[in-house]
Structure 1
Amino acid sequence: MIKNEVITEIRTILIKDWDPLGIGANLNLGDEYDGYIGSIIHILMYSPSIESIISLLKKIEDEDMGIENTNTKYLYPIATKLMKIGEKFHI
């Protein structure tokens, strides 16, 4: 079972660091990216790598959000933070 602390840390990274929709400042939308947390946890459990997390975030942006940003360099530090959560909690 995944601890609430893991979910909270992932949510914080998605809102503060990733935030492709720019909603971080709106406290009413703090759960906007919660639907993607399960997919991130799945990667951290079964195929943890910076590249797999970047690929997932890019896919979400492209396919789910319709944001076509060809430069994925900005995703590297976000993926690194998410990997550290996986390591911290031994996911």
Structure 2
Amino acid sequence: MDSIPILVSQLEQDPDTKGIFVPDADVLLERIPVETLQENLGKLCQQVGTVVSHARKVGDFKLKEVTVQVEITAEGGVEMIGTAKVGGKGAITLTFAE
């Protein structure tokens, strides 16, 4: 099975907890199965499409492009970044255009 390498942080006091770029944590290389990442990214893109489909036109303006930033979890999950405080380190930017 194909996999993609990704750097994750592991806290010393809780080796079962892994995240992306946690301060004061050991950095490990994890391999994420391509199928897992493909499935999770596909679900997120479909959900974003559903949400955005209702906002195609606002007054006289037409929505031309939507940009979202996502991060990949150590388990291969794909999560949207909700605030600027989370930061963009290691983020993937997805741009959807007509």
Asked if Structure 1 and Structure 2 have the same fold, meaning a TM-score greater than 0.5 normalized by the shorter chain, the answer is no
The structure with higher relative contact order (CA 8 Å, sep 6+) is 1
The structure that is helix-richer by fraction is: 1
Looking at CA atoms only, which structure, 1 or 2, has the larger radius of gyration? 2
The structure that is strand-richer by fraction is: 2
In the superposition, the TM-score normalised over structure 1's length comes to 0.32
In the superposition, the TM-score normalised over structure 2's length comes to 0.30
